[in-house]
Structure 1
């Protein structure tokens, strides 16, 4: 007669949950609770893998298309601005200063419309402010003679260069205005120093002509960026955050499917898919960059002025924390050597996966989530069931490493519920601030 190994976990009411090793043919993830939830754990691994591969190929094709569009738009802008050299009437107007317009196009044109607009406005503000102060300082220096000229110019370069560099070190300034401050320093120094060897009237003409050509370059950049297949940073940030809900739900589903399989089978299969979780851990800088660009963008489509992009950054932060916990859950699977099966965990996992997909769908369709009526009660029930499974008084006495892995899994699953509850509140607040439509 064959024997079956079991794990016993103590719970607070004195009962014991005995988790027998499942038979080899019993690989389905069954839920012992009757829930009005979709059968998220009954999908085959092959179907899930094909879905992931198909999604990856679609995203890659979209990225390649956007890169081609951006490259063509840069080429169009360079051709248009080169007309300042190619057409005689335009060349007579700007002469050699046309090179500044070309430089503006090269350094200003960015991938998204928001990045291009933000960089162009920063360059314009820095040029106007730096050039204006430079002209004033140069004019004042020329009235004080040779010695006074050197003193005024040296002092002004030191003072404005030091102050601008100091403000550039503030995080709030660096995020949105770093390029403008840098252009201010460059323009101020070029104008004020050139005033030493040039007459005041000539300095004014040079500053005026260069500003005019830079404005021409900026107008070409922003016109092409906004009118020819515009690429919006706001759309990319929104789609990126939305896709993470589905990705983390799939990773958690895959993790919980692995939870009830034989340890012997782990050597013969790829294991749970945690690629999305690992990629999310390094997504903070990209999210902040996209949010900064999105703030510069004009009203377009579903995103208006003063849209709460900071809420997207907060949701992204909580999703990264959730991804780290899911990776820890996967570590518990790697530490176990025999089969583990806890039906309450299966039911709880089902609720979590359903909730994540509902939240992702809510953000995708920009409608308010039904937190109070549907999501919160399920999370509350999940938290109560987990609290019954955790017996902190007996954790220290556990000798079996597999039982310890199961206990760790239960604790981490409780952390997942807490994070999902936090994400639900953030999504609910986003819907209220951004004016999402009511649920249908």
Structure 2
């Protein structure tokens, strides 16, 4: 009886079923966990997200004890749900945001509940049809006034959440139809539950690995000085160097870092609003000049716009390589000091030290301004001899450089003021 031979194709060896299951289990469960830990070690912001998630979980467990433990449940009852809702609504990533929301919620609840009780008592005292009229009028007046206040910029930045809570609480109390005594009792129980939730949030947010909005704003501002210095040097290399196809990374990096600086206005305003609520911590005291950070950030965005406009010089410029090379030395004498100055100013903010006196910085900028004027005067004749389209890039380049020096002078003055108001120490 003949035997049948089955050919096994070459390739991957046959793996036993148990090993296949082990491999699948490792790929599904272990590998993502290992990748997650690796990313956390190299990603500071990712680690902070994990810390924040753990803190929220801790807060929810603590307020849930109001339901889980009988002695606490007998005291609070069903009102314990308001403590849980408070944690979910006000626990924010930054400590300042949590403190802001907690105080806003407390103030909004007290004002809304108090005024609602007065309006409800007054409506019940009148009775009849007059009760419905009084309720409608008070809801209209307070609802419209609170809504209007939410549209005022200064009020909205600080108390928008409190106004929203006020509207909600006031309407719930007024239309409840309960007597004044019952309303006060319910308001007292719910306010105590909300106070418990706020206290738990503030305790964990401020004392357990706090994440400060002021630190985030400070570090973000420091990084922008380096981004702009790198972008300025990248433009110089691209404009005066021979850009090959494999060297396009300079152009991409030069543009992307400037654009990242431009898109920071909303983030800065939000962080400043949270930072103003934060208590004294680290190197920041009460009444720290956060407004100066906004002004410096605005100057840095203007600088980023000017540096990006230099890229238009590359597109518009059609002068010969020889003409560019003749400009290389004087223009690099302008770009290099500006980049160094940006890094020094960034280092000054980072260490909170005055790197140089205002007069010394301004004197350096005056020297740079003279260099720009020299370049402009040296090539005015050349520009006039060229066609309009040919000389446009060179003229734009010189004008942008002059504008950049002016903006740097303004930035240096703002930095000096920040050092004075922020209490920066002198650099030894």
TM-score category (smaller protein): 0.7 to 0.9
Structure 2 match to 1:270: 249
Normalised by the length of structure 2, the TM-score is: 0.85
Q: State whether structure 2 residue 337 is matched by structure 1 residue 351.
A: yes
User: Which stretch of the first structure deviates more once superposed, 372-381 or 70-79?
Assistant: 372-381
Q: Which residue, 182, 192, 201 being the options, matches 1:212?
A: 192
Q: State whether structure 2 residue 241 is matched by structure 1 residue 261.
A: yes
Count of residue pairs brought into register by the alignment: 381
CA deviation string 1:80-110 (max 9, x = no partner): 0000000001101110011100000000000
Structure 2 match to 1:225: 205
1:20-419 to structure 2, matched below 5 A, reads 61-194=43-176, 196=177, 198-262=178-242, 265=244, 269-272=248-251, 273=253, 274-337=255-318, 338-339=320-321, 340-341=324-325, 342=327, 343-391=329-377, 395=383, 398-399=386-387, 401-419=389-407
Contact kept, 8 Å, 1:398 with 1:404, in 2: the verdict is: no
The SS at the match of 1:296 is coil
- CA distance in structure 1 between the partners assigned to 2:336 and 2:260 by the alignment: 24
Contact kept, 8 Å, 1:369 with 1:428, in 2: the verdict is: no
Deviation of 1:280 (Å): 1.5
Normalised by the length of structure 1, the TM-score is: 0.83
- CA distance in structure 1 between the partners assigned to 2:386 and 2:54 by the alignment: 65
Q: State whether structure 2 residue 415 is matched by structure 1 residue 436.
A: no
Contact kept, 8 Å, 2:59 with 2:200, in 1: the verdict is: yes
Structure 2 match to 1:50: none
Contact kept, 8 Å, 2:97 with 2:277, in 1: the verdict is: yes
Contact kept, 8 Å, 1:371 with 1:424, in 2: the verdict is: no
CA deviation string 1:40-84 (max 9, x = no partner): xxxxxxxxxxxxxxxxx9997001000000000000000000000
- CA distance in structure 2 between the partners assigned to 1:150 and 1:223 by the alignment: 43
Deviation of 1:438 (Å): 1.4
* Larger RCO: 1 or 2 (CA < 8 Å, sep 6+): 1
- CA distance in structure 2 between the partners assigned to 1:193 and 1:236 by the alignment: 44
- CA distance in structure 2 between the partners assigned to 1:246 and 1:268 by the alignment: 21
Mind listing any 5+ residue stretches in structure 1 that lack a counterpart? 1-56
Contact kept, 8 Å, 2:258 with 2:305, in 1: the verdict is: yes
Contact kept, 8 Å, 1:237 with 1:291, in 2: the verdict is: yes
- CA distance in structure 1 between the partners assigned to 2:415 and 2:144 by the alignment: 43
- CA distance in structure 2 between the partners assigned to 1:58 and 1:260 by the alignment: 41
Deviation of 1:422 (Å): 1.0
CA deviation string 1:170-210 (max 9, x = no partner): 0001111100011101100001111x2x2221111111111
Contact kept, 8 Å, 1:135 with 1:191, in 2: the verdict is: yes
User: Which stretch of the first structure deviates more once superposed, 375-384 or 88-97?
Assistant: 375-384
Which structure's CA Rg is the greater one?
2
- CA distance in structure 2 between the partners assigned to 1:81 and 1:109 by the alignment: 13
Structure 2 match to 1:11: none
CA deviation string 1:225-261 (max 9, x = no partner): 0111000000000000011111111111111121211
Contact kept, 8 Å, 1:70 with 1:111, in 2: the verdict is: yes
CA deviation string 1:137-178 (max 9, x = no partner): 111111111222111111110111111111111000111110
Structure 1 match to 2:7: none
- CA distance in structure 2 between the partners assigned to 1:96 and 1:276 by the alignment: 53
